[in-house]
Structure 1
């Protein structure tokens, strides 16, 4: 008589995974999740007779219905979208072009070029803002002197002081500072393409620009999509550069005001404007929902289409 088969061994509980994850989750929860929950809760409260009470969506109605808040919010949101468009239409294409140039085989000095192009990214916002204010100053700036030396002084204008050009100028300064991020991400994607694919393309006579657009570009589309959503999140959280170059009032005449600077004035107050932490938390909640909507759209719409395209 054969012995009965051995019973399957019970599944091992991997407690060590939870142990190793616990510190990171604890730090993330304390630094990110708890403040986020407190901000969302604060946005549902307001002062009544000197005491904080739950008011539901009254703050939201005030934000979108009261001209004191609504006009500034919609202006800041519009400027934020313009700020984002400059990055998505200028920064990321330039980053792709630079990455393509750096990935050219047998290019000399790649490490030097890569370091020089990425260097502005690690500089402080204060340093970058102050340097560009000096460069663009109509009194002692380098830009008017350089243009004057080649007979193009007439092209210079006090761009940071004119409503029509201030936002574009600040956006381009931000592009200059952060173009290294998409460049490095896309460069890493390009050099990770298997050599077999490139060799097969060359055997078929596909080289140069044709090879990049027909072979390499489709393979790095997921990285380009990731770069786009990181740009979106970073731009709608922006504050430091605008504050450094244009101040809390985001002048001239609020022409460079974005959601970050608008939130700062509403929450903390500025000059004669008194701060309101409850309305400030409502603005922060609106920013969170805008960013959440953009990220969800990328994850559930764009990323799925990219996966289908790759398949």
Structure 2
């Protein structure tokens, strides 16, 4: 047998790769914690939504709890009000927070800008603050009695426009949403900023050779290339907003006042499951609301993964 035939026969023999069992060993602790903290509670919540107390005994009722949630006048009113407020809350974040994050990232990526590290840290700092601190600070700022907002607006001649925004049903939800935008705008800013820095220099140099510079370069070259990052930010905003609870609870309390104008699905779930003041908690209806929240988030994430992401994948390197 010639050397060529020997080499061909050797190449035809498949190489057995060792099984990397150590990967499973390293993943097992994280998988165990995730299962205990996330998967098992989710399964129990889905199961609980199909049970209810009948004559003092826990009995399987199928989709009866969902019929009550959507069909009973009192439950349906509270649920649709919370869902509508949640959609407004999400829309404000999408239309205000994310565009501002993109704009700030574009400004930080300017090559001639000085003190970039300071600006980046200052704008990201609110994200690191506790929601309790943020809610308490903004309640003090916007208070018409002892807040600093009326005095600051008076300095620039706008005191006549000041109103108790957190105390009026028409403006309370917008005010809380803008507080949330102020706190979390650093997240989309940093993600977009990282995506802009990751654009290859060859692309920028080619654009400059074609005479595309300045903001024209950003809109025509950079922005399309960071669309995948914007897509990820959008779905993270969607998931975060439909899981929101803490800031609304801190600023407006469990009743999400005034008159339920800031009530979202998270606060409705809290009051239903745990009860509030003289209202007793209902675990079955609380689990039903949590299941609906899960289905809404699952639908949004699936829409992004199977439709939106496929369309923006062509911009990825």
User: Does TM-score exceed 0.5, indicating one fold?
Assistant: yes
1:116-265 aligned at under 5 Å gives the runs 116-265=122-271
Mapped to 1, the partners of 2:53 and 2:133 lie a distance apart of: 40
The match for 2:104 among 82, 98, 107 is 98
Normalising by structure 1, we get a TM-score of 0.97
Q: Does 1:15 align with 2:34?
A: no
The match for 1:60 among 45, 66, 69 is 66
Mapped to 1, the partners of 2:83 and 2:239 lie a distance apart of: 14
Q: Does 1:296 align with 2:302?
A: yes
Per-residue deviation, residues 83-137 of structure 1 (Å, max 9, x unmatched): 0000000000000000000000031100000000000001001100000000000
CA pair 100-49 structure 1, distance change in 2 beyond 3 A: same
CA RMSD of aligned residues (A): 1.6
Normalising by structure 2, we get a TM-score of 0.95
Q: Does 1:51 align with 2:57?
A: yes
Mapped to 1, the partners of 2:82 and 2:275 lie a distance apart of: 16
Mapped to 2, the partners of 1:240 and 1:299 lie a distance apart of: 27
Q: Report the Cα offset of residue 265 of structure 1.
A: 0.6
The answer for the alignment partner of 1:25 in structure 2 is 31
Report the 3-state secondary structure (helix = DSSP H, G, I; strand = E; otherwise coil) of the residue aligned with 2:153: helix
The answer for the alignment partner of 1:42 in structure 2 is 48
**Is the 2:228–2:315 Cα contact (8 Å) retained in structure 1?**
no
Mapped to 2, the partners of 1:24 and 1:203 lie a distance apart of: 49
Q: Does 1:306 align with 2:312?
A: yes
Report the 3-state secondary structure (helix = DSSP H, G, I; strand = E; otherwise coil) of the residue aligned with 2:69: helix
Gap runs ≥5 in structure 1: none
